[in-house]
Structure 1
């Protein structure tokens, strides 16, 4: 009876963890509870049958986080986690050196990078985001290149064949990639298909791909995949030790920068 009670309590705690974090890993849970990985897999299978989580390679993700097709309004995005985004933006901006050419993807976190970039005439920034353009236009020296196209008013950014064509013959040093969903197994995802297509073009043009996201995006999976996580070079985030991002970085081969 004690074993049954321990199992029930452990599964309830794992259920709470997967809802709070968005995803959990078998190895981490095995160490946390001092039980075998096979026992944890049985726990996750039980939670999957209950509709709490969906299994993924090496763990499970919250059922609520899978196929997040409802994109929040821009004002909602702007209001979410502003302090974390500001810290991430400052740290990411510090990675830009004089002489660099960089792409700032659309998004509220990449907008913070624009705010924190030094006003240096030796830095060139390309973007498809109208708000980022406005932020950079207030700086006197930084060189700004707008990627044109069709305006999507929902997030005040440009997309389409014209935007993608502008990247075809370009090579840049760094891409700072914003995300809607970030799952270690299912990849980096977004709500909007043309954005995924454009982001892949940006990544192809960049020597270094740097994902920027606050920890609320971990475990979320949107409809359209941009890249696999192992395709990025760096991740700038506010993740804590409990998010187990360092172990994923070691396994998947990207550098982790904590803001």
Structure 2
């Protein structure tokens, strides 16, 4: 049991560097202090540059290799061919009679582009650009998840958006990512997005991650879920061996576009 604050923070700092991340609840139990005390420790270490705060804990500053979110204009013009192939393949996984959620992002926008115009398919989204694409269809059922508009990526977030999913159950979630790492899982730059994405995961029978190979090995500040929570990964043909091994170990299927 460590009671001295400076010694405890030194120990936590060492654990962060050795393991890459720490969580509040296990630390509180390990050091026999309250979770509030641990949160103060993590805030202190964050101000010293040892780590970055994340949902429920902290990530080593060295591990967070994507510190800035690129503007949406840059996302639209990067890896366009790969995203188009991924979008076409992911859209082919949607069956008549299913309800799906399309997460915000340029890869999910490609899925919307290739979706069949079927009146038996219901699509939920919080992305304004995806809504614009789907609104041109004559038969698709469309549900817009409202809330506060974040202009940086033209999508809606907040308590209203999360509440809209509270009593819903959908067949499939197509989840875009900012970071996809075997150890840290699926991560994003924006905390309200992580919170909304976790609610989407709860509402879905199947979780399908969609990303091009540039996101592999990247870790952003806010964790959405670990990789054992996904059922499928739709990506391009740049799949590293670490991801293939993780798919076999954790039970998700890899689809290459």
TM-score normalised per structure 2: 0.74
Partner of 2:138: 140
How many matched pairs?
197
Partner of 1:227: 225
TM-score normalised per structure 1: 0.74
Partner of 1:68: 66
* Alignment partner of 1:163 out of 151, 161, 165: 161
The alignment status of 1:197 with 2:201, answered yes or no, reads: no
Partner of 1:252: 250
8 A contact 2:182–2:242 mirrored in 1: no
Residue-by-residue CA offset, 1:81-138 (whole Å, 9 max, x unaligned): 0000000000000000000000000000000000000000000000000000000001
Partner of 2:116: 118
Q: In structure 2, the residue corresponding to 1:251 is in which secondary structure?
A: helix
* Alignment partner of 1:237 out of 235, 238, 252: 235
Partner of 1:97: 95
Q: Output the aligned Cα RMSD.
A: 1.3
How far apart are the structure 1 equivalents of 2:236 and 2:78?
A: 13
Q: In structure 1, the residue corresponding to 2:95 is in which secondary structure?
A: coil
Greater per-residue helix proportion:
1
Q: In structure 1, the residue corresponding to 2:219 is in which secondary structure?
A: coil
Deviation at 1:242, TM superposition (A): 4.3
How far apart are the structure 1 equivalents of 2:239 and 2:171?
A: 30
How far apart are the structure 1 equivalents of 2:255 and 2:170?
A: 21
Q: In structure 1, the residue corresponding to 2:228 is in which secondary structure?
A: helix
